[in-house]
């Protein structure tokens, strides 16, 4: 049973603030401890806002996975905020109705001379220079391509419905142990041929990038800039690290895709 709860709200959204106030009062009256501003580690973090709410909380807490997460639907189109208000208002009675879903991260390792930088992302890594990205792409040591284009996007199953989808990548089911690389404006002509569509890799594969020019790159993890500069090698992998998200037991991914992206 859960007792200690942290409430994390996107204060720029009016509906999120209103929902936060209602939920806080109800949880307190139901005997839960609200641990915001204390040194007590929460059992559950409840987020109010859009999908960016979870990404901001993870970034703020250095990708801590000690607490489980619940996202409250505040009228957004996101996939991570999928719990209805009534389920939380009656959380003292309904918490056993929730199911756990593991959201695996993807990892990136950047080598720059004798320095190594490592980062996690829940949704995606976006790799792009100021101009054109020219890089050799290897998978488990085998040459895949010499990519030329605007950028490369690496996304997890969770991030497949985010920026990846806008970039032309495919939607991945949440239980698939894969990640994908999606090109942005790949060059395809008689002189250069880059993969114009996304490609998926298994959880055990390693995708490595080697520079074909001296251009500096910017790497963003879930929209946050984490690296700017030259590199000698970049490796992207499916992570063993995951966040446990709680969702309504009636949640169905296919239904959510239809509701959010088709209807």
Continuous segment of H or E residues that includes residue 89: helix 85-89
Strand partners, 112: 115
Residues 59 and 224: beta-carbon distance below 8 Å = yes
Strand partners, 228: 218
Residues 67 and 54: beta-carbon distance below 8 Å = no
Is 51 noted as a catalytic residue in this protein?
yes
Active site residue: 51, 82, 107, 222, which one? 51
Spatial distance between the Cα atoms of 134 and 209, rounded to a whole number of angstroms: 10
Q: Which tokens in the block code for residue 246?
A: 């709680």
Query: If you ran DSSP here, which 8-state letter would residue 193 be given?
Result: B
Catalytic residues, by residue number, are 51
């Amino acid at each position: 049973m859960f007792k200690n709860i942290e409430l994390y709200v996107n204060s720029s959204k009016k509906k999120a603030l209103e929902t936060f106030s209602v939920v806080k009062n109800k949880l307190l009256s139901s005997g839960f401890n609200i641990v915001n501003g204390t040194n007590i580690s929460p059992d559950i973090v409840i987020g109010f806002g859009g999908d960016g709410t979870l990404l901001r909380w993870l970034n703020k807490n250095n990708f801590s996975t000690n607490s489980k997460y619940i996202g409250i639907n505040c009228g957004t189109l996101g996939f991570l905020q999928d719990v209805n208000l009534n389920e939380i208002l009656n959380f003292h009675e309904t918490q056993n109705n929730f199911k756990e879903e593991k959201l695996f991260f993807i990892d990136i390792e950047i080598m720059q001379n004798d320095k190594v930088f490592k980062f996690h992302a829940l949704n995606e890594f976006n790799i792009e220079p100021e101009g054109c990205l020219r890089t050799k792409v290897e998978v488990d040591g085998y040459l895949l391509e010499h990519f030329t284009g605007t950028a490369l996007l690496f996304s997890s199953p969770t991030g497949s419905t985010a920026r990846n989808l806008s970039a032309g990548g495919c939607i991945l089911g949440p239980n698939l142990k894969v990640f994908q690389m999606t090109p942005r404006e790949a060059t395809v002509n008689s002189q250069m041929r880059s993969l114009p569509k996304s490609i998926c890799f298994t959880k055990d594969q390693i995708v490595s990038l080697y520079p074909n020019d001296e251009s500096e790159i910017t790497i963003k993890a879930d929209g946050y800039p984490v690296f700017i500069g030259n590199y000698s090698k970049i490796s992207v992998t499916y992570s063993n690290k995951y966040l446990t998200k709680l969702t309504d037991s009636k949640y169905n991914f296919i239904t959510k895709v239809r509701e959010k992206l088709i209807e």
